[in-house]
Amino acid sequence: MFSTETLSTEEAALRRQIKWLIGLRLLVAFLFLGSAGLLALREHPPFALTPLFVFIACACLLTVLYLRALNRTTRLRRLCGLQVWIDVVLVTALVHYTGGIESLFAFVYIFPVLAAAILLSRRSSLLLAGGSTILYGVLINLQLYGLTNRAQFLSTGSTAHDPAYALLQLFVNSVTFFLVALLGSQLAGRLKEAGRELEERRIDLRNLRTLHQDVVEQIPSGIVTLDLEGKIVSLNQSAQRIIGITAEQIRDKSWRETPFGEIKQLETFFSAPTPTFGGLSQEFEIKRQDGQSIPVGINLTPLKSSEGRLVGLVGIFQDLTEWKKTEARLRQADRLAAAGQLAAGLAHEVRNPLAAISGCIELMKEAGTAKPQLLDIVLREAERLKLVTGQFLDFAKPTLASQKRCNLVALVAEAVLLLEKSCDSAHPVTFSIQREAEEVMAAGDPDQLKQALWNLGLNAIQAMQMGGQLSFAIRRHGSTNGDGWVAIELTDTGRGISPGELKRIFDPFYTTRPGGTGLGLAITQKIIDNIGGRIEVISKEGSGSTFRVLLKQAPDEQT
């Protein structure tokens, strides 16, 4: 016997179809048997019933033979073709013994033709339709010319039939046979093609599902899906490992009852789910069942069906523990590097004045007298040491900034007044102030802001060695309801800053001015950072520079 597992998919399907054909043939035989039994109850049946019983017995015997042959052969198409041709012969005998032209069973020819169209091919079904037409035509001709005895309907007697009527019967039935063959083969071809496409889609879907499951389960990031009611639908293996809970423990629970309950923004989404939800990203801590708290970063986006209908949310999250440790190590490395750079710069700045002081003392020791010129050098270099160490302390440990409402217009005016007094008259610098209002309020520390403006203004004056103009502009950026920004722009007409210098101007101890410490702009940047602002620089070599200080707008005073 041959197992269907060793055959191709098409052969296995044909074997199943042949079994259906055998079963349907047996069902038709039993229907005829029931009809013959009812006719046998009548005193005068319309035709002889013995041939009908013989036909039924042959059909049952052939069914047994077909089943045995089906289990012993691999030539399924030949077996199927043999069956339908034998069926046509049996149908011809049935029609002959049930009245010939008057027989009610001429339509039975359709079934073998249709079976050939479905199970074999269009060519086979057309050949069978032609064979059925020939056999039916020969039967009618033998009946018309009296070359064979036929069963007579009791109601018709022995009246002869008109040849034109017989020809019409033959034409109508033969056309029916061929139409059934054509339409049946056409539908069978489409059905087979659809079956092949469906099988291909099924295989593709199975492969895609396997690939999807492999990707989702093996991806190192945790993946969680939620329905529109906020219930957990699925968790991949990485998600279970990160949060320390199995999928069975958390599935179908509300997100509020899970570690994701820390994401408060989900309350807004699930209260009124909308397809226009743009997603959210958040860092939060998950408390595992073992008591450990781990930092997690999650990105939640809408989950939609193939029709574009919103069906829930999908979240992708990672354990940030190692990332946080790496970030801390990098920050520590940056601090150590900055400390090393500061130490090197400080050593360099201190060494030069100390060398000058030491040289002067040696000269005074050799001369035995203290010359005024040497004492001036000692005092000047000592003052320089004091300046360097003071600025270094300001940079290394700045005063904590307080958040107060500051009127930038008044601060800028005071800074300009101080700068005018300190400006060298040999190289005049003119000052101007532009403002949008008499009061522009920002959040910050007034004393530290004043120091930052002084440093920036002094830097701009020193960049204009031959004099020029320094302009201050105070503008609002963004909204005016307390959550926007305000800006102070300092624009000079100096030599500008080259691209290479622009990258380093805020580095400690970096200076291009002889005698400069290189800490002024570094301290300024640190002050602005401490009060939550930022500094932007726009400069083109030969065209001056603009330093823009952006500060948070102060909220309105509560009355």
| pLDDT per position as a tens digit, 401-452 | 667 888 898 889 988 888 887 776 567 888 998 988 888 888 888 888 888 8
How many CB atoms are located within 10 Å of the residue 112 CB? 27
Q: Are 522 and 528 in contact (CB under 8 A)?
A: no
Q: Which two tokens stand for residue 316?
A: 């992708």
Q: Is the pLDDT of residue 69 over 80?
A: no
Helix (H) / strand (E) element for 224: namely strand 222-227
**DSSP classification of residue 314:** E
Q: Residue type for 556, please? A: D
Query: CA-CA distance, 382 to 4, in Å (whole number)?
Result: 103
CATH superfamily, region 404-552: Histidine kinase-like ATPase, C-terminal domain (3.30.565.10)
Q: Where are the domains of the chain?
A: 4-198, 220-319, 325-396, 404-552
Q: Do domains 220-319 and 404-552 have the same CATH topology?
A: no
What is the CATH architecture assignment of 325-396? Orthogonal Bundle (1.10)
Residues 6+ apart with CB under 8 A from 9: 199
Q: Are 209 and 300 in contact (CB under 8 A)?
A: no
Q: Are 91 and 112 in contact (CB under 8 A)?
A: yes
pLDDT band at 385 (very low <50, low <70, confident <90, very high): low
> Residue 234's Cα: distance from chain center in Å?
16
Residue 63 in 3-state DSSP?
helix
List phi, psi (to 5°) of 109.
-55, -30
pLDDT in tens, 494-546: 888 888 788 778 877 677 776 666 677 887 888 888 888 888 888 888 888 99
Whether domain 220-319 has CATH 3.30.450.20: the reply is yes
**DSSP classification of residue 466:** T
Region 386-404 average pLDDT: 62
Residues 6+ apart with CB under 8 A from 407: 439, 440, 441
Query: CA-CA distance, 242 to 261, in Å (whole number)?
Result: 16
Query: CA-CA distance, 515 to 508, in Å (whole number)?
Result: 15
Query: CA-CA distance, 22 to 59, in Å (whole number)?
Result: 10
pLDDT in tens, 339-365: 666 666 666 566 666 666 666 766 666
